[in-house]
Amino acid sequence: MPRTSIILPGFNAFATVERAIGSVLAQHDEDIELIMVDDGSTDRTPHIMRSVADPRVRVIEHAANRGISAARNSGLDAATGEFIVFLDADDSWEPDFLLRMHEARGEADAVVCGRVVVTNDGSTRNAHSARLGDMSGTDAALAMMVGGITPFPWDKLIRRSALDDLRFPEDIHRFEDQAVGIIALSRVGRVVSIPDALIHYHVSAQSLTWGRVPSVEEALSALAFIREELGEWLAVSGREASFDVCRTMFLMLTAQSAMRSLDGAASTVVASARRHISSGMVVATLRRRPVIGAGATLLKIAPGVYRWILLQYLRRRYSMA
């Protein structure tokens, strides 16, 4: 059994997947298995995956495109390692990524690291979770709910047992990865969050995160998935308020995605997101994350001003219109 299983899904990722694969095979920690999942690509992605001559590598091929959640689930079904790490086909690792993650982990069950953000114009900056240090799995899950720990699956190393009976919902195409992350962290004993920027995260206007406008129904479905999995866990005093913050953030992010275009359909999405953010959710968010709560307030009362601020932020932060 390898110490770490790496799950790398790809769909029509010919331009970047070789870089991602190379960064895995260059790891100083060689106790790995790399499970690559081609999700029905129509370009040379499967050829690149199959051409890797390394006994630690396995390739799974979907006959048709089923979505990134299905690809990640196929990887999870095949994984045998003690720990799981996800890597997207357009990102890459520092050569000592795995060594430093395991060193930071110690006896913990999960590690969260920082990232190098590579924007559209090629500029870079380092970023990491707001919540750093050693914490319980419960505290980490609550921190992820309120934005204190990043929502990504690819900046985390986690014990496979936390994912044994947990899979990405394949009928939800936004926030499903954060939902799974929250649930998985709630199941472990200890989590370590470090600032070290060990992943190169390439921001693209065509990516799944930035390239499409999600529906409010997707956000609500992801929230329902969390509640279904964590019903009794959420019932503990104080946790429901954190879930209110999570609800607010999912709906705000949905509105933000729509505001990048704001055609007729996108305007409908924004209006629906605003309606679903209740005053109680805003109050809970103001108490736990005042800046985000202030943003939710502005989105409710002055969406035009909110959109103008958002577009300025995206241009400055990600070189993205």
Q: What pTM does this model have?
A: 0.94
Per-residue pLDDT tens digits for 78-133: 999 999 999 999 999 999 999 999 999 999 999 999 999 998 888 999 999 999 99
Q: Letter for the amino acid at 130?
A: A
Question: Which residues lie below 8 Å from residue 239, measured CB to CB, with a gap of 6+?
Answer: 142, 233
SS (H, E, C) 190-247: EEEEEEEEEEEEECCCCCCCCCCCCCHHHHHHHHHHHHHHCHHHHCCCCHHHHHHHHH
Name all domains of the chain by residue range, CATH numbers in brackets: 4-202 (3.90.550.10), 216-318 (no CATH)
Per-residue pLDDT tens digits for 19-71: 999 999 999 999 999 999 999 999 999 999 999 999 999 999 999 999 999 99
